Amino acid sequence: MPLSQSLIATQVDPRRRGIAMGIAQGFGSSLMGSFVAPVVLVGFSSAYGWRHAFFLAGAPGLLAALLMIWMIRERQPVDMPAIAARVAGATLRSVLIDGNVIRCLVLSIAFVAYLVVTWTFMPLYLVNVRHYDPATMSWIMGVLGIAATLYSFVIPGLSDRIGRRPVMRLVPILALLLPLGALFYSGPVWVLAGIFFVGWSFTGIMPLFMSTVPSESVDAAHIGTALGLCMGGSEILGGVLAPLVSGYAADHIGLQAPLWGLLVFAVTGGVAALGLRETAPSAGAN
């Protein structure tokens, strides 16, 4: 992902960089990976056996490799934003201490943790604590896949028009709604599903803080490093450690503990977003 997003950062019109990165990072993985693939693979494995399903699961990767060989060519990058031009020739150390990169790293850690902990513990909480039947739980969780698909291009596209900073400051506040709804809302299920849909809007800013803003904050020579730092740090600290800590808390306190952790992650991301400097060309970043 750092390499593919670096390619987009250097080849796509800066005015459309947000939506391009959002589609690349979120649309396909949410629509095909989280929604279509489980349905197709489960049906295929039921009909032909799970071993054969692995061949089907591997086919998209082989197809993508062939498309990359055919279509991707090394080219000179398009004009980068002026904000990146100012730091042209910057050293690697300047990238590692860049304020936007550090804040995006914090955002990445917080919201990857939010994502993984939700997928891991929310189904258990809905069934064992809120006492929804498994079918109802699966529909509530299924809303998240639909939401992520829509947000993957709507929110990054909005940031292309009004700027990265306003969007990234607002969405972490909305992320508070999901755990609060799960903890305290007791009305109709469809309203809870709507709360989950709105709260999951943070997935729309994930391409922004993992890819778009870091790529617009450093010189072109160090885009891959900046993106790798944000994505790699988030996977190690947010994707690996957060579920372990949340699981320990769930065992000793209860299944509500991971949901309180989601509130902490959302607040942490919101605080980090407050200090971001604007990078979108449409917002007059210079």
Q: What is the CATH number of the domain that holds 196?
A: 1.20.1250.20
| 6 assigned to some structural domain | no
Any domain includes 1: no
**Torsion-angle region of residue 94: left (phi > 0), alpha (psi -120 to 50) or beta?**
alpha
Kindly state whether residue 152 falls inside one of the protein's structural domains: yes
Look at residue 155 and tell me if it is in a domain: yes
Reading the chain (286 residues) residue by residue, the pLDDT tens digits are: 767 777 776 777 777 777 777 777 666 676 676 667 766 777 788 788 888 888 888 888 899 899 888 888 776 655 554 444 444 455 677 777 888 999 999 999 999 999 999 999 999 999 999 999 888 888 888 888 888 888 988 898 898 889 999 999 999 999 999 999 999 999 999 999 999 999 999 998 988 998 889 888 888 778 888 888 888 888 889 999 999 999 999 999 999 999 999 999 999 999 999 999 998 887 655 4
Task: Supply the range of the domain harboring residue 163.
Answer: 13-283
Residue 175 lies in a domain: yes
In a domain, 2, yes or no: no
Whether residue 167 lies inside any domain: the answer is: yes
Number of independent structural domains in the chain? 1
pTM: 0.80
Q: Is residue 264 part of a domain?
A: yes
